[in-house]
Structure 1
Amino acid sequence: MKFVILIHSNPQPWGHPTGDYIAEQQALPKEQRAQLNAEFVAVMAEMQEKGELLGGEALGNPATARLYRWEGGEPIATDGPYAEAKEHFAGFFLIDVTSRERAEEITAKFSGPGETVELRPTMQVGGDDV
């Protein structure tokens, strides 16, 4: 079963890893931040070892995005990001696991105080959601 883990972050300030720029995480004791980082590194290593991690990327500053929309039958490009959004897409990980429960177990380790992480199943063209 394939899932994508979507990392959302507030763009002010922008940077990676996103947790380093979130006030709730900055307020944690140094030891607790180190523990969260160690758990993240461990789950990444575990997924690689099991062949569950198919790929992923951190994304650049949303201020550098270009948006493409259709207007009057033509594509129109504008500077991004979506102005109405408080959070922006910061990165993703594509995983292939044996069950939704395993995907949820992994995703829970991606989230820390003040972070928003989304788990979404992938879908084959013409297929059904999981």
Structure 2
Amino acid sequence: MKYVILIHSNPQPWGHPTPDYLPEYQNMPKEQLERLNAEFETLLGELQEKGELLGGEALGAPESSRLYRWSDGKPLVSDGPYSEAKEHLAGFFLIDVDSQARAEEIAAQFAGPGETVELRPAMWPGGSDQ
């Protein structure tokens, strides 16, 4: 079963890695921050070894995005993201696991201070999520 782990964040200014820009991380003791970083790198390594991590990418600054909407029979382009948004999609990871329980176990480990993690099943061709 494939799932996407979506990392939502609100660093100001925008940048990657997002913890470098979030006050929750900036106010953390150096030893704690180093431990969290090491644990995350270990997690990624374990997921790769098990074949569960298919990929992932950090995304560029939200203000660099373009939105495309269908209007009057053609695409209408505007700058993105929505101006009222406080959180933005910072990046994603694609995983392939045996169960929803395993996906939830992994996603919980991606949630860090000041960030919101969304777990969503990936859809297969034809519309089924199984």
CA distance in 2, matches of 1:11, 1:65: 16
Indicate yes or no: 2:37 matched with 1:37: yes
Residue 128 of structure 1, CA deviation = 3.7
Match of 1:81 in 2: 81
Does the aligned pair in 1 maintain the 2:66–2:77 contact within 8 Å? yes
In the other structure, the counterpart of 1:49 is 49
Partner residue, 1:21: 21
| CA drift at 1:11 | 4.7
Residue 59 of structure 2 is matched in structure 1 by 59
Which residue number in structure 2 is paired with residue 68 of structure 1?
68
Identity of aligned residues (%): 70
Listed as ranges, the gaps of 5+ residues in structure 1 are: none
Partner of 1:121: 121
Supply the distance in 1 between the matched residues of 2:126 and 2:48 (Cα, whole angstroms): 29
Q: How many residues were matched structurally?
A: 130
Misfit runs of 4+, over 6 Å: none
The structure-2 alpha-carbon separation of the partners of 1:11 and 1:79, relative to structure 1 and needing over 3 Å to count, comes to farther
TM-score with structure 1 setting the length: 0.92
Matched, 1:104 2:104: yes
Query: Displacement of 1:107 after TM fit?
Result: 1.3
CA 1:29–1:11: 2 relative to 1, 3 Å: closer
Cα distance in 2 between the residues matched to 1:74 and 1:24: 43
Rate the CA distance shift 1:11–1:20 in 2: closer, same or farther, 3 A: closer
Note the alpha carbon deviations across 1:17-68, whole angstroms, 9 max, x for none: 1112111121111111111111110010001101111111111111111110
